[in-house]
Structure 1
């Protein structure tokens, strides 16, 4: 069955053009123009970190930042996205082919974050549910996620960021949008020259494991420059994690 999933994955790549690298706008909420700058570059994934504060999903990278933050997931991302869908007639952009995934990194417990997130999304399901609208924004929960055996307990419009160390059955893996892990768990390469053979071997094993499960793979904490993007693509990394969205898009697309 894993072999079948791998074939399905490769077939999907050929249909969607996914063999072209995808760009993940890391910590987008920290940028001078959150959401809008990443949209202008047609980023494939846009990330926001959230904490629960006073019943709201607040943006921030640390608890201290969240305690003083006045920015919410709803105000910075969800409402502007809904407005764009109204403006562009059920899509986020004038480009009829473009949509993206909103990756929400839960910094507090999943059981605290997910009910609040679900309630917000259910107000506009044609915007956030691809079963209702193929160009809807796919929602991916990262960070503090439910255990693999709990993923199917959540609505079908919520997907999850997987890990190489987790095991998924044939139904659960359908809810895993991508596999992510810390680059430094496998390699010490600094982003210059060629990746060493030992590092390559470790990375290739993890990449192969993700692809056999039928999932694209991303590494956070990887070198973030044109040399690194090229080397990672050679190894088979599908999703490039970057703080330099415009530069990365120009280099790889």
Structure 2
């Protein structure tokens, strides 16, 4: 399909999505709140591309953040968890950027109709970070006015905020830019450093490398205080917090850990279980 024809088709799709996200074989869900409910801005779809309908399943469950792993192959950014998963038809554009552009156009500037808070697109670089980021930057430039942008010291909000994770070599070319369409996913080692929230708006880390508790029994008080201290310090710096490798099998342990994360004020809950997290956050006020 020619690029112009493809974009026309996606614009038509976006117009339909302004009314509902229609997922083959599943219930239609409104973009802007399923059955009138608010988007779940703290819900993060880990490895989103592994769901039956990448992006759309997460939007159907009202998620505020989705994760896409990219590999640089030639000048293409292919989506997958490992090299063996790659398919030339599954690109960052086809699964995420083109559909998001169409949805935002149809919804007059936002992913969720009536909500100006941006959707977070966490882009996890799986190939060498510097070269992959530079190619990614060229791809992002093809979508004017879609992304939150850093412009000469000022952050200009957009409908989608790109945050770059994965290979840490991406940091060098990103820091050199005076205009960026993406931001950097920090680690706990970045907390309290000179890196500003305008460059590192998100602090992410592996739960199991920082905490021993996995939801069974009582949360050790020292670990509870450590968790709350991390989140308080990040928030004081204008940064958000996400942990990966938290328990994700449905059951009391996951519920207990999610409840502690909620009480501590974590900004993103990391999950592969879209429906499970939707139920949990709906049961908690101000989620």
TM-score, with structure 1 as normaliser: 0.81
> Aligned to 2:276, which of 230, 233, 247?
247
Residues 31 and 211 of structure 1: CA distance in aligned 2, closer, same or farther (over 3 Å): same
Residues 93 and 203 of structure 1: CA distance in aligned 2, closer, same or farther (over 3 Å): closer
Q: Is the 8 A contact 1:189 1:196 kept in 2?
A: yes
* Structure 1 residue 42 displacement after superposition: 2.4
Alpha-carbon distance in structure 2 between the residues aligned to 1:209 and 1:98: 23
* Greater per-residue helix proportion: 1
Q: Is the 8 A contact 1:148 1:168 kept in 2?
A: no
> Aligned to 1:156, which of 180, 186, 202?
180
Alignment gaps of 5+ in structure 2: 1-39, 249-253, 282-286
Query: Structure 1 residue 129 and structure 2 residue 152: aligned?
Result: no
Paired residue for 1:48? 68
Alignment of 1:1-253 (within 5 A): 22-66=42-86, 68=87, 70-97=89-116, 99-129=118-148, 134-146=157-169, 151-154=174-177, 155-166=179-190, 168-169=193-194, 172-224=196-248, 225-252=254-281, 253=287
Q: Is the 8 A contact 1:51 1:106 kept in 2?
A: yes
* Structure 1 residue 35 displacement after superposition: 0.4
* Relative contact order higher in (CA < 8 Å, ≥ 6 apart): 1
- Deviation per residue, 1:120-165 (Å, 9 max, x gap): 1111121123579744211110111347675432333211111111
Count of residues in Structure 1 that have an aligned counterpart in Structure 2? 232
Q: Is the 8 A contact 1:26 1:243 kept in 2?
A: yes
Paired residue for 2:6? none
Work out which of the two has the higher radius of gyration on C-alpha atoms and give 1 or 2: 2
What is the CA RMSD across the aligned residues, in angstroms? 2.5
Residues 157 and 196 of structure 1: CA distance in aligned 2, closer, same or farther (over 3 Å): same
Residues 196 and 118 of structure 1: CA distance in aligned 2, closer, same or farther (over 3 Å): same
Paired residue for 1:9? none
Alignment gaps of 5+ in structure 1: 1-19
Residues 129 and 210 of structure 1: CA distance in aligned 2, closer, same or farther (over 3 Å): closer
Q: SS where residue 242 of structure 2 aligns? A: strand
Q: SS where residue 140 of structure 1 aligns? A: strand
Q: SS where residue 202 of structure 2 aligns? A: strand
Q: SS where residue 175 of structure 1 aligns? A: coil
TM-score, with structure 2 as normaliser: 0.72
Q: SS where residue 142 of structure 2 aligns? A: helix
